[in-house]
């Protein structure tokens, strides 16, 4: 087999690497070696140097830079813990062994057997006694100093981004820690982790357009779930006391710095509880994770200090609107609300509903001001079809949304457990659907049936994991916290 083939289609840099590959084969060396058992990681050698000096070690990783000096050379080897310097000397490797360096490229993955020592300049290093090619790299890496900056390439070729931009790995390590931390937090409090279907016959539990797919054997269309809510509450009917699920949701909507078509949410439900329990747990989870990650409940996001220390203030939506817009929307009907909105310079559809105008007021006047954590509560019943009405005002619900740095980071409420009210709410949603609102709920007869068996009063909460990770990793774009964010295919 001629590994230096296809020369016409390769640029010079790749041709050179193919030639070296062929040279290795000619020398009887497998450039794509086998299992290599390391004894230390780079970080272990650096941390444990005092006890390891002059010891033999086996380490593996990728060559990230080389400095050759005639009969002695230096290279940096990177593994998942960090970098360590390699020192090659013709005296220790012999003429033949040392000559192999000519076949070495930045990006090659090596298995090194060597001796741990410190150079004259003080750098902890490994003097190479034997090197094995574990994988020859046939493509050049981006430049050592500037790395890979082109965000398009960074997302499309995340593997390269991860190799050359060390901060990227940290973000995803933090993401993993956050999810682990959330799991143990909930599990420690008696929450039981479950998995519910992602293929739904009825896409319910949120107001969003679903993705549609098709089951061939059953010859039926199915939806990718927009929320796990209705299944999790069926489990409360079934007798589970506290449940949670962490998983992907799919919503067929726009892509932005805060939206990806698939995103991760944690939903949890507490039987015999209510919204106030959920607000408490929201604050506690955020504070707990902050404490674990940075050892403080104060964090910095994009240069702003955010104080996550509980308790967070709570403010009814209508109070917040009055505070920031100066307008009291309480008790208005649809047309009065439209009139007030026009006076404040908002764009309103000619037949906009009161609840929609409320939403618009909130988005324009309130949201941009919500930097520090705050719970906005008491949403109108029309936009909260699964939440229980407030006892003292049946047009509002016992619902809350926490905001941090102007983002809605979660959504929770006291769950509606009255099957008759629920059925009426669904009917209203279906009516809106018929009027062209394709984000309104569909009727879910089986869910009503489940409620008819009796669901305990309960609090429920959904936390957006991606936004939480953005906040804790100081990432301004959701794409920075997704390993492989959605991209249009490149032609």
Residue 275's alpha-carbon distances to 236, 414, 458, in angstroms, are 16, 5, 8
Cis peptide leading into residue 311 (ω within 30°):
yes
In the set 29, 100, 101, 106, which binds RNA (CB under 7 A)? 106
Of residues 410, 414, 426, the one with CA closest to residue 389: 414
CA dihedral 350, 356, 358, 363 (to 10 degrees): -110
What's the closest the beta carbon of residue 39 comes to RNA, in angstroms? 22
User: Quick one: CA torsion of 44, 45, 47, 53, rounded to 10 degrees?
Assistant: 140
What is the nearest approach in angstroms of RNA to the Cβ of residue 227?
Answer: 9
By CB under 7 A, name the one of 30, 123, 173, 452 that touches RNA: 123
In angstroms, the CA 431 to CA 323 distance is 34
Residue 35 in contact with RNA, rule: CB under 7 A: no
Which residue's CB is nearer to RNA, number 331 or number 436? Answer: 436
Query: Measured from the CB atom, is 74 or 192 closer to RNA?
Result: 74
Query: Using CB under 7 A, which of the segments 44-52, 217-225, 260-268, 271-279 binds RNA?
Result: 260-268
Contact segment (CB under 7 A) with RNA among 296-304, 373-381, 389-397, 459-467 equals 459-467
* Cβ atoms 397, 378 nearer than 8 A: yes
Under the criterion CB under 7 A, does residue 49 sit at the interface with RNA? Answer: no
Binding residue for RNA, selected from 26, 96, 152, 219, defined by CB under 7 A: 152
Strands (E), 14-81: 56-69, 72-79
* Continuous H helices in 406-491: 419-434, 445-452, 465-473
Scan residues 359-388 and list those touching RNA (CB under 7 A).
Answer: 359, 363
Residues 392-411 that bind RNA (CB under 7 A): 407-409, 411
Closer residue to RNA (CB): 73 or 414:
73
* 261 touches RNA (CB under 7 A): yes
Asked whether position 240 contacts RNA by CB under 7 A, the answer is no
Tokens for 95, please give them. Answer: 């003429």
* Shortest Å, Cβ 50 to RNA: 18
Tell me the C-alpha distance between 383 and 443, whole Å: 16
> Distance between alpha carbon 123 and the CA centroid of its chain, in Å?
37
Q: Toward RNA, which CB reaches closer, 109 or 237?
A: 109
| Smallest distance, RNA to C-beta of residue 54, A | 12
Under the criterion CB under 7 A, does residue 146 sit at the interface with RNA? yes
Among 236, 226, 225, CA closest to 194: 236
DSSP state of 480: G
Tokens 């955010």 correspond to 306
Binding of RNA by 257 (CB under 7 A): yes
464 is an interface residue for RNA by CB under 7 A: yes
Which 8-state DSSP code applies to residue 26? Answer: H
Q: Is 282 in the site for RNA (CB under 7 A)?
A: no
Residue 350 in contact with RNA, rule: CB under 7 A: no
């Amino acid at each position: 087999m001629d590994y230096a083939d296809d020369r016409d289609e390769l640029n010079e840099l790749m041709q050179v690497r193919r030639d070296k590959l062929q040279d290795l084969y000619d020398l009887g060396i497998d450039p794509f070696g086998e299992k290599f058992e390391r004894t230390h990681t780079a970080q272990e050698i650096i941390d444990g140097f005092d006890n390891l000096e002059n010891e033999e070690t086996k380490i593996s990783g990728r060559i990230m830079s080389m400095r050759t000096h005639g009969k002695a050379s230096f290279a940096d080897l990177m593994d998942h813990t960090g970098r360590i310097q390699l020192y090659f000397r013709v005296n220790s490797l012999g003429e033949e062994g040392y000559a192999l360096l000519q076949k070495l490229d930045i990006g090659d993955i090596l298995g090194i057997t060597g001796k741990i020592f410190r150079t004259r300049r003080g750098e902890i290093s490994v003097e190479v006694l034997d090197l094995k090619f574990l994988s020859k790299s046939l493509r050049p890496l981006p430049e050592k100093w500037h790395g890979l900056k082109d965000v398009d390439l960074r997302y499309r070729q995340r593997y390269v981004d991860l190799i050359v931009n060390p901060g990227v790995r940290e973000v995803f390590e933090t993401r993993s820690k956050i999810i682990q931390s959330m799991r143990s937090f909930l599990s420690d409090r008696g929450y039981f982790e479950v998995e519910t279907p992602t293929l739904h016959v009825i896409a319910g539990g949120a107001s969003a357009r679903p993705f549609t797919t098709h089951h061939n054997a059953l010859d039926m269309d199915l939806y990718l779930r927009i929320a796990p809510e209705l299944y999790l509450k069926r489990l409360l009917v079934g007798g589970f006391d506290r449940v949670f699920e962490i998983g992907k949701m799919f919503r067929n909507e726009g892509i932005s710095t805060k939206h990806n078509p698939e995103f991760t949410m944690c939903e949890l439900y507490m039987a015999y509880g209510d919204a106030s329990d959920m607000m408490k747990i929201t604050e506690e989870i955020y504070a707990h994770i902050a404490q674990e990650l940075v050892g403080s409940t104060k964090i910095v996001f994009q240069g702003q200090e955010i104080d996550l220390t509980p308790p967070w203030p709570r403010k009814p939506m209508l109070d917040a609107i009055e505070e920031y817009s100066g307008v009291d929307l309480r008790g208005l009907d649809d047309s009065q609300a439209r009139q007030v909105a026009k006076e404040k310079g908002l764009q309103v559809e000619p037949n906009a509903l009161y609840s929609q105008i409320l939403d618009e007021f909130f988005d324009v006047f309130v949201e941009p001001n919500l930097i520090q954590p705050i719970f906005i509560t008491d949403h109108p019943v029309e936009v909260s079809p699964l939440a229980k009405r407030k006892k003292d005002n049946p047009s509002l619900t016992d619902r809350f949304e926490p905001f941090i740095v102007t983002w809605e980071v979660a959504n929770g409420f006291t769950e509606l457990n009255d099957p008759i009210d629920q059925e009426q709410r669904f009917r209203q949603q279906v009516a809106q659907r018929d009027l062209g609102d394709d984000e309104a709920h569909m009727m879910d007869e089986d869910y009503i049936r489940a409620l008819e068996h009796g669901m305990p009063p309960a609090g429920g909460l959904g936390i957006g994991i991606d936004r939480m990770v953005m906040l804790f990793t100081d990432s301004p774009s959701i794409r920075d916290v997704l390993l492989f964010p959605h991209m249009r295919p490149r032609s």
